[in-house]
Chains A and B, each alone.
Chain A
Amino acid sequence: DIQMTQSPSSLSASVGDRVTITCRASQGINRNLNWYQQRQGKAPQLLIYAASSLQTGVPSRFSGSGSGTDFTLTISSLQPEDFATYYCQQTDSTPRTFGQGTRLEIK
């Protein structure tokens, strides 16, 4: 199985801050990497697919980059609705593993 490791596990930030979350794969996955946002008590929502493609309807303050084993999700200017948990997922091979999540909290 490909292991996905996110860092940090939790993060405190303020509205307007720029935030970066990283995701590392245990082996190369090309650009087969997705990012999801999960608000409390809700199903996850797709933010970024193919490492850097913005899902329709997702605000442009979200961006993704990377390929191979190292990936980042950046939120350019945090908004109140962005405080949630973020997960990366690799789809290069099965099982299509998720990272352990990064909880983004209000400072």
Chain B
Amino acid sequence: QVQLQESGPGLVKPSGTLSLTCAVSGGSINSSHWWTWVRQPPGKGLEWIGEIYHGGSTNYSPSHKSRITMSIDKSKNQFSLKLNSVTAADTAVYYCARASVGIYSSIRYWGQGTLVTVSS
């Protein structure tokens, strides 16, 4: 059974960089999937942030493209998200997830989510 677990600081200062890692177990990061980040501000809906393939290809949300970097660490079977120049609007629960590749892509596996608060 594939499991994903987010980790990283729960508090980030404004203008700083949000850094999260997602550890994958029960499956290989080298498999043909989109490794995905989705966030959810408190009390609001889901927002797709972006995705990365094991070969390094990425797709980012245009809304945040200038601030996002995603990467994969094959040796640790994990992938990461960096979001710089954060503001209070970036406060959210961040989920890592695994999406199928190709036609009819969907997210079958999700991490439990981690709350990141942007505050001084």
**Which A residues contact B (CB, under 8 angstroms)?**
1, 31-32, 34, 36, 38, 43-46, 49-50, 53, 55, 87, 89, 91, 94-101
CB neighbours of A91 from chain B (8 A): 99, 104-106
Tell me which residues across on chain A come within 8 A of B107, comparing CB atoms: 34, 36, 44, 46, 89
B106 touches A95 (CB 8 A): no
Please indicate the chain B residues that have their CB under 8 angstroms from the CB of A34 in the complex: 106-107
B73 at the interface (CB under 8 A from A): no
Residues of B with C-beta under 8 A to A31: 104
In the complex where A1-B62, A32-B103 touch, is A46 in contact with B45 (Cβ < 8 A)?
no
Q: How far is the CB of B86 from chain A (nearest CB, A)?
A: 19
Nearest A residue (CB) for B34: A96
Q: What are 28 sample pairs from A and B whose C-beta atoms fall under 8 A apart?
A: A1-B62, A32-B103, A32-B104, A34-B106, A43-B95, A43-B110, A43-B111, A43-B112, A44-B46, A44-B95, A46-B106, A49-B106, A50-B106, A53-B104, A87-B46, A89-B46, A89-B48, A89-B107, A91-B99, A94-B51, A95-B50, A95-B59, A95-B61, A96-B48, A98-B45, A98-B46, A101-B45, A101-B46
Given A34-B107, A50-B104, A91-B104, check contact A43 B48 (CB 8 Å): no
Q: Which residues of the other chain, B, contact A55 by a CB distance below 8 angstroms?
A: 106, 108
CA distance A94 to B105 in the complex (A): 11
A78: min CB distance to chain B, Å: 22
**B51, B60, B62, B108: most-surrounded residue (chain A CB, <10 A):** B108
* Bound CA span A98–B53, Å: 20
Contacts of B61 in A (CB 8 A): 94-95
Residues on the B chain within 8 Å of A50, using CB: 104, 106
In the assembled complex, the CB of B92 is this many whole angstroms from the nearest CB of chain A, namely 13
* Chain A nearest Cβ from B93, distance in angstroms: 9
Known: A43-B110, A95-B62. A100 touches B105 (CB 8 A): no
